[in-house]
Amino acid sequence: MEIIKKNVAGIDVSSETLDLVIRKKAKKFTNTPDGHASLASWMTKHNVSHVCLEATGIYHLDLAVTLDREPGLDVMVLNPKIARKFSEATMVRGKTDAIDAGILAQYADTMKFVVWKAPTPKILQIRSFSRRLEALTKMKVQAKNQLHALRATIHTPSQVVEDATFMIEHLEKQLEVLGGCALEIIQSDKEINNVLELLTSIKGVAEKTAIQLIGELLVLPDDMTPKQWAAYAGLDPRVVESGKSISKKRRISKAGNRHLRRALYMPALSSTQHELHVSAYYQHLINDNGLTKLQALCAVMRKLLHAIHGMLKSGKPFEGTRFYAIPVEIK
């Protein structure tokens, strides 16, 4: 079915401003709730039916949700790398906010338009908790490394060591409190809680990791395939075969959601040590396929993501035999 587009707009999003372009006509708004309302009203007056904006961390999300609620308006949220490659392909010269917005409008007008739908409020709250938990965990690791360095020399005053220790204790308390808040939201919704139970059926996936996975995966459209999930996470293999470059090793593209990759890393690492079938698959990749440990771990992350996709579709917990069937040795 062909999508009929009336007027197509592109929006360049920054932390403070929004640059809107409709058929080379530019207008600037503030990136605030009032600014979002004004922008939506202005687009209605100009008969805009389709709008495209980049995924820019937290700054685009509130705007995208607001626009998704507007009747007769379809929203597309574009990966910034796709927008950059499109700009390079069209040989656009110069770079301003208005030019970037014009590129997004041009992309939406000429390329396949993929409609974005806003997640539920609970999912958005869980996503906010999960990303904050990720940030605090990173801070905790850094604080522990700093404490180790401080204790490595006798010249560090005891007050400095005490301050670093206090910081770690404070971060641990914050992690516990925010993790509890996220769990309360999850347990208040039967469907989301079922997802939590399915995820924690995987050895290596604790509640904290499950919260992070829920926050990143449940915002995705229901019709995405396992391969699309892997590409979204940047875990799809990047093949380089051009000219004389035919023997380069395959690497993951990393052109995707880094938060999801980070959430998958520790479960994959833990599963290779504690889950029989995952461990067997990991060793098979190293011993039989000649992969390095890091390459094999990335492959486990990708296959684990595929397994989670199947679990959520079927509603069945993790089964190691479905992940990898261990070959029976013939004597």
d(CA 227, CA 233): 10
d(CA 208, CA 200): 10
As a whole number, mean pLDDT of residues 172-183 equals 96
CA proximity to 58, closest of 104, 9, 13, 114: 13
Taking every pair of C-alpha atoms in the chain, what is the biggest distance, in angstroms? 77
CA proximity to 39, closest of 57, 63, 62, 16: 63
pLDDT at position 329, please? Answer: 67
At 88-110, the pLDDT tens digits run 888 776 678 888 899 999 999 99
As a whole number, mean pLDDT of residues 282-291 equals 94
Confidence label for 330 from pLDDT (cuts 50, 70 and 90):
very low
pLDDT at position 243, please? Answer: 47
- How far is the first Cα of the chain from the last one, in angstroms, to the nearest whole number? 58
Q: Which residue has the tokens 């089964």?
A: 319
- For 3: left if phi > 0, alpha if psi spans -120 to 50, otherwise beta; the answer is beta
At 116-141, the pLDDT tens digits run 888 899 999 999 999 999 999 999 99
92 versus 21: the higher-pLDDT residue is 21
3-state secondary structure 162-195: HHHHHHHHHHHHHHHHHHHHHHHHHHCCHHHHHH
At 221-256, the pLDDT tens digits run 777 888 888 888 888 776 544 445 445 555 666 667
331 versus 169: the higher-pLDDT residue is 169
State both tokens at 289.
Answer: 């396929």
Which residues, 6 or more positions from 28, have their beta carbon under 8 angstroms from its beta carbon? 17, 18, 19, 20, 97
pLDDT at position 248, please? Answer: 53
Contacts 24+ apart (CB under 8 A), 86-92: 86/111
At 29-38, the pLDDT tens digits run 999 999 999 9
Angle at Cα 257 formed by Cα 16 and Cα 138, nearest 5°? 80
Which residues, 6 or more positions from 161, have their beta carbon under 8 angstroms from its beta carbon? 147, 150, 151
pLDDT at position 255, please? Answer: 65
Percent share of the chain, pLDDT over 90: 65
Which residues, 6 or more positions from 317, have their beta carbon under 8 angstroms from its beta carbon? 197, 198, 201, 311
